[in-house]
Amino acid sequence: MPTTETLTTPNDDRAGDPAEGSGADAPAGVEGPAHRSGRAGRDTRGRLLDAAERLFGELGYSNVSTRQIAEAAKANVAAAHYHFGSKERLLRAVFERRLAAINAEREGLLADCVRAAGGRPEVGAVLDAFIRPVLRLSETEGGRRFNLLAGRSSTDSNPEVRRVVFEVYDAVGRGFVDAAAAACPQLSREELFWRLACVYGAMMYIRADNGRLQRLFGPEFSLSDVGGALRFALPFLTAGMRAPPAADDPPQP
């Protein structure tokens, strides 16, 4: 079983971010070392997050070391230790950077559609509230990198990845399941489970954008086309959720 990679620092590591300089005060109106060092520390942290997001998404969490991330960020392992402490905490920070605002938006939209419908929301509105904010991430290069990482992480069996993914998504995920159940009271809990498995699978496949369908169809279409996903995939998923419950007699194998 993989173990958490704890970042070790050189013996001469100074307190604080190794990228930072002296904290001496400067005259009023003049940017002194403390201001410059604080900005340098934020820049270093951002570069580490960018590098981790790209490498974890391209190669997979288990195939990337913190030293590789530090080198890609033009930083050192001591700086990575100062800002994150372990590789798992670095992965968590990558997710939290992108998802804090997105999950807050999703939770707000889900609550709004349930409240506006008096507790019985329309399933299309529930799916839109949950899916649209995440797909819109693909409108930026950084968002596309994160969606690649999120898609890969959704099927990663590494326990550190599982722990991070579950913890950053559980709250909004439970809200989504509750809203979907309220929108589809005709479905048994078991049937709701399987239909939402299809919704999650489609969403994660679109986010991962691994090029498989482009290989089959040619370069004319792209899963990073947010407009296409909202125009075609979202109505398809909505129709699936609206379909009548399955017959009591299961199909013969």
The count of domains in the chain is 2
Same domain, 209 and 142: yes
Residue 72 covered by a domain: yes
Q: Which domain holds residue 233?
A: 98-242
Residue 28 covered by a domain: yes
Please check whether residue 75 is in contact with residue 47, taking contact to mean a CB–CB distance below 8 angstroms: yes
- CA separation (Å) from 16 to 6, 10, 40, 76? 17, 13, 12, 13
What is the model's pTM?
0.78
Average predicted confidence (pLDDT) for the chain: 85
Nearest of 252, 243, 209 to residue 229 by alpha carbon: 209
Question: How far apart are the C-alpha atoms of 142 and 139, rounded to whole Å?
Answer: 9
Residue-wise pLDDT for 167-191, tens only, equals 999 999 999 999 999 999 999 999 9
181 class by beta-carbon count within 10 Å (0-12 exposed, 13-18 middle, 19+ buried):
middle
Residue 54 covered by a domain: yes
Chain mean position to CA 187: 29
Residue 12 covered by a domain: no
Query: Which of the pair, 153 or 252, is modelled with greater confidence?
Result: 153
Residue 104 covered by a domain: yes
Q: What is the pLDDT of residue 40?
A: 57
Same domain, 81 and 124: no
Provide the CATH number for the domain around residue 181: 1.10.357.10
Average pLDDT rounded to a whole number, residues 112-122: 95
Opening angle at CA 73, ends 68 and 77, nearest 5: 60
Question: How far apart are the C-alpha atoms of 242 and 223, rounded to whole Å?
Answer: 24
> Where does the pLDDT of residue 138 fall: very low under 50, low under 70, confident under 90, or very high at 90 and above?
confident
